[in-house]
Chains A and B, each alone.
Chain A
Amino acid sequence: MPLESRHLLGLQGMSQPDIQLILDTAISFREVLERPIKKVPPLQGKTIANMFFENSTRTRFSFELAERRLSADVLGFQASGTSVAKGETLKDTARNIEAMKVDMVVMRHSASGAPHYLSQVINANVINAGDGSHEHPTQALLDMYTIREKLGKLDGLHVCIVGDIAHSRVARSNIYGLKTMGAKVSVCGPATLMPRGIEKLGVDVYHHIDDIIPHVDVLNVLRIQLERDAGRLFPTIREFHNYYGITRQRLERSPKPITIMHPGPINRDVEISADVADSEHSVILQQVLNGVAIRMAVLYLLATRN
């Protein structure tokens, strides 16, 4: 069964079989990444434009690598130094790129909903690589893949997302995806970093990290986005670390080992202590590797959907 949609805009409303299909297909692509020649030909002749209107290193590299490993032709830009800086509208930029016969567009944009708009004005398949504080579907898919790889399932697990929930597209996509796959999701952070009405998404809200740690299987620790003014929403970084930082002492109070995740880049000793980030229960680098396999699966499933 092919995916329901010809775009990947978000995990809100994505069906359980579709998420399952992407996760299962990614297992097969993980094997390709272990080969001596890590390149396979299914997207030969397809052209993919990576339109990053917001800076990104990890996600852009990950997409580009996934595209190249599937033998697609790849174009890419970051917002600075292109016609965007000259005042061109999103629609015009996209239409011009499409006029060059591009088959798929991977887009990151600071405006929530930008990829949805784009999918209505161009014919190429659109993949959301992060839109504002809305969704980041491939990150949540790779997070779910990594949890399933480590713990063998998603159904019935308890995942707590910690930190800056309000600014986080990663949190939102994870909540939608994990709930669909049968996991229990909690969020934890200071009230100033908690969006109003978040409990309507079916999550439990905690403000004290020590209350939730004994009950969870996975902690997904979000980055404090200092560049997005988050620094004004709590008194000091040190105070944030004291109240919400994930440290070895805190984790030792849990009766069972907790899997530690982080979408990166890490602020060491702010949201997570260095020893926890490097510990045996941390799957942070597996997340990065699995990200390439997940993106290969998404690109493959959209390109061959016909």
Chain B
Amino acid sequence: MRKLKAKIMDAVGLERTLTRLSHEIIEKNKGAGNLVIVGIKTRGAIIAQRITKRIEEIEQTKLNIGLLDITLYRDDLLGKLEQPEFKGTDIIFSIAGKDVILVDDVLFTGRTIRAALDELIDLGRPNTIQLAVLIDRGHRQLPVKADFVGKNVPTSIDESIRVHLKETDGHDEVLLMHPETQA
């Protein structure tokens, strides 16, 4: 059992953070004309949908959004005790020449992002890939850096971050949890 250490974001805070991220993405790319959004399953995909909706509202446009399942590109696939489920990637448009905003919920070791980058590049040659994350909790094991960060949260390695979203968990919040206790 993990015990709650701190509530990092509530529902209102999470909404505001996503709004700010959306504005930053538009500002840096000087509009949304060449953007496509790709979310990493499962919660990154939901955050990607929400960011997409905001950018569409702000810029009065429609964006292509794709969902990435990085299971086949994991570096621990053949050694894991529990078999990861492969639910499939869903990107029905070409990413060649596009500015891809890759979206995930929590940036931690960087291994998921490495897998996502490899898969994206197999799907085509984008102009740029930019990374947007809701939470950056540090402890990178690979040289990965996010372009857009909702909130930097310093953590110890054995703490954990829980992102709860309406679509999957019934409500919006981000929690920092204490290390697992042997009970």
Contact A35:B83 (CB < 8 A) given known A27-B88, A303-B78, A304-B77: no
B69, chain A: closest CB distance, angstroms: 7
- Chain A residues, Cβ within 8 Å of B80: 304, 306
Q: Which residues 105-119 of B sit at the A interface, judged by CB distance below 8 A? A: 118-119
Q: Which residues 57-83 of B sit at the A interface, judged by CB distance below 8 A? A: 69, 71-74, 77-81, 83
Contact yes or no, B84 A40, CB < 8 A: no
Contact yes or no, A300 B86, CB < 8 A: yes
Interface check B17, CB cutoff 8 A: no
Identify the closest chain A residue to B124 (Cβ): A36
B82, chain A: closest CB distance, angstroms: 8
Contact yes or no, B89 A31, CB < 8 A: yes
Contact A31:B88 (CB < 8 A) given known A40-B122, A41-B72: yes
Identify the closest chain B residue to A297 (Cβ): B86
Contact A306:B79 (CB < 8 A) given known A36-B124, A41-B72, A41-B73: yes
Interface check B56, CB cutoff 8 A: no
Identify whether the interface residues of B are mostly helix, strand, loop, or mixed: loop
Chain B 89-111, CB-CB to A under 8 Å as 1, else 0, gives: 11000000000000000000000
Interface check B123, CB cutoff 8 A: yes
Contact yes or no, B78 A304, CB < 8 A: yes
Q: Which residues 20-49 of A sit at the B interface, judged by CB distance below 8 A? A: 25, 27-29, 31-32, 35-37, 39-42, 45-46
Contact yes or no, B81 A306, CB < 8 A: yes
A35, chain B: closest CB distance, angstroms: 6
Bound-state CA distance A8–B30 (Å) is: 54
A97, chain B: closest CB distance, angstroms: 20
Identify the closest chain A residue to B118 (Cβ): A41
- Chain B residues, Cβ within 8 Å of A35: 122-123
Identify the closest chain A residue to B123 (Cβ): A35
Contact yes or no, B87 A45, CB < 8 A: no
Contact yes or no, B124 A25, CB < 8 A: no
Scoring B71, B72, B83, B123 by chain A CB atoms within 10 A of each residue's CB, the highest score goes to: B72
A254, chain B: closest CB distance, angstroms: 35
Contact yes or no, B79 A28, CB < 8 A: no
Q: Which residues 84-119 of A sit at the B interface, judged by CB distance below 8 A? A: none
Q: Which residues 232-256 of A sit at the B interface, judged by CB distance below 8 A? A: none
Bound-state CA distance A300–B89 (Å) is: 16
- Chain B residues, Cβ within 8 Å of A46: 78
- Chain A residues, Cβ within 8 Å of B122: 35, 37, 39-40
Contact A28:B87 (CB < 8 A) given known A37-B122, A39-B122, A42-B72: yes
Contact yes or no, B123 A25, CB < 8 A: no
Contact yes or no, A306 B78, CB < 8 A: yes
Identify the closest chain B residue to A34 (Cβ): B92
Contact yes or no, A37 B86, CB < 8 A: no
Interface check A266, CB cutoff 8 A: no
B171, chain A: closest CB distance, angstroms: 29
Q: Which residues 128-186 of A sit at the B interface, judged by CB distance below 8 A? A: none
For the A-B complex with A40-B119, A301-B83, A304-B80 known, give 15 more contacts whose Cβ atoms are closer than 8 Å. Answer: A1-B83, A28-B87, A31-B90, A35-B122, A35-B123, A36-B124, A40-B72, A40-B122, A42-B71, A42-B72, A42-B73, A300-B72, A304-B77, A304-B78, A306-B80
Q: Which 7 A-B pairs have CB atoms at the shortest separation, nearest pair first?
A: A28-B88, A2-B83, A40-B72, A42-B72, A37-B122, A28-B86, A31-B88
- Please name 20 pairs of A and B residues whose Cβ atoms are closer than 8 Å in the assembled complex, sorted by A: A2-B83, A28-B87, A29-B86, A31-B88, A35-B122, A37-B122, A40-B72, A41-B73, A41-B118, A42-B72, A42-B73, A42-B74, A42-B78, A45-B78, A300-B72, A300-B86, A304-B78, A305-B83, A306-B81, A306-B83
